[in-house]
Amino acid sequence: MNFACMSFVIMAITVLFSATSFAAAPIKIGALFAVTGPAAFLGEPERNTAKMVVDEINKAGGVKGRKLELVVYDTTGDATKAVQLATKLIKDDKVVAIIGPSTTGETMAVIPVAEKEQVPLISCSAGSKITDPVKKWVFKTAQNDALAVGRIYEHLQKTKQTSVSILTVSDGFGASGREQLKSQAAKYGITIVSDDTYGPKDTDMTAQLTKIRGSHSHAIICWGTNPGPALVAKNVRQLGIKTPLFMSHGVSSKKFIELAGEAAEGVKLPSGKVLVCDLLPKTESQKKSLVSFVKDYQNHYKAEGDHFGGHAWDAVMLLKNAIEHGGDKPSSIRDQLERTTNFCGIGGTFTYSAQDHAGLRKDAFVLVEIKNKDWVIVK
């Protein structure tokens, strides 16, 4: 691993136990996470991680001798509420930047607020439309669904599975994934033979899957976030469908295995490397930092640090880096974020530019498979 990068990561997560006094006013950072509601499996680890990292930064001396103050609001996954709370963070709490929200739909709703008020937003959501086209004040840490689709399609191409059925949730994340699944298919020599959707609150997808079974496709790709994909997996098993089932990175946590139960067995999906950090080779540049993050989260919350918590880790640390190098004004933070290069994070190595506010490449993903209620890397 790059020595400078590794040193930064180690220093960033080391807790100093000596008392630290802060003379200047704290630097306020806002956070919007779906801590409760259907997307809590995203927002809760994001909230927990953000608090953990900010606490550790402050114990280690803060940023330029100033304490970070994290102001967190629970959006419950509701886009309208997210907009209201983003406005509150900016107008009332006077934050210099916002991390989150947890979902693509919420983020798309909040973007106009960030752009109008000229406050940097670092989304923890995956939708490609968040940063494509580039918005001046908006960045993201979650790996793009465009990269996730490419990772699945590369595998299908390699294994000569040339026809797919897609089943996507009818929300912002699902719509963005569906667009990528359709637009990239021809590039990989793949034909979409069935294209269907389901609602975020649907509890049975038997009708769509019965249609898919009749299409005789080589693979099924479901694009959504829990609990819908877990229900799809269960329905696939109940219908006796043997077609290989792929999921999006939107279910890249143990929560999916918990919800799907035995039906999770054999499901494949693209994921950030943190999910399988213990299985990575010693030559993997991210391995030590990923293992450190997982252990740190375990020590704080008695649970595994995951793919989603990693998005918040990256967002907080990117802000810390920007403030250290560019100052604490929103405009300075924005400018410095855009200058970020080779930043070693949990989701991958980030390099932003004026043309790219997503910052990651396809090597941020590995393809994993669920076996015996755990993850293995698909070779």
Enter the tokens of residue 194: 């069935």
Residue given tokens 């793919």 in the structure block: 307
Q: Bridge-partner residues for 268, per DSSP?
A: 246, 369
Residue given tokens 């959006």 in the structure block: 75
Give the other-Cβ count within 10 Å of 178's Cβ.
23
Which has the closest alpha carbon to 19: 64, 61, 66, 70?
61
Which has the closest alpha carbon to 141: 348, 284, 341?
348
**Interatomic CA distance for residues 116 and 128, integer angstroms:** 21
Phi and psi at residue 61, in whole multiples of 5°?
115, 0
Residue given tokens 């704290």 in the structure block: 26
Amino acid letter for position 273: K
In angstroms, the Cα distances linking 350 to 98, 107, 141, 313, 356 are 18, 20, 8, 13, 10
Phi and psi at residue 97, in whole multiples of 5°?
-165, 160
What pLDDT sits at residue 19? 41
Task: Output the tens digit of pLDDT for each of the chain's 379 residues.
Answer: 454 455 455 445 444 333 445 668 999 999 999 999 999 999 999 999 999 999 999 999 999 999 999 999 999 999 999 999 999 999 999 999 999 999 999 999 999 999 999 999 999 999 999 999 999 999 999 999 999 999 999 999 999 999 999 999 999 899 999 999 999 999 999 999 999 999 999 999 999 999 999 999 999 999 999 999 999 999 999 999 999 999 999 999 999 999 999 999 999 999 999 999 999 998 888 898 899 999 999 999 999 888 999 999 999 999 999 999 999 999 999 999 999 999 999 999 999 999 999 999 988 999 999 999 999 999 8
- Provide CATH 3.40.50.2300 ranges for the chain: 3-143+284-362, 146-277+365-377
What pLDDT sits at residue 94? 98
**Interatomic CA distance for residues 220 and 233, integer angstroms:** 10
What pLDDT sits at residue 22? 60
Tell me if the domain spanning 3-143+284-362 has CATH number 3.40.50.2300. Answer: yes
What pLDDT sits at residue 23? 63
> What's the DSSP call for residue 353?
B
CATH assignment, 146-277+365-377: 3.40.50.2300
- Assess whether the previous peptide bond of 112 is cis (omega < 30° from 0): no
What pLDDT sits at residue 5? 56
> What's the DSSP call for residue 96?
S
What pLDDT sits at residue 17? 37
Which has the closest alpha carbon to 106: 171, 36, 152?
171
Say what the pTM is: 0.87
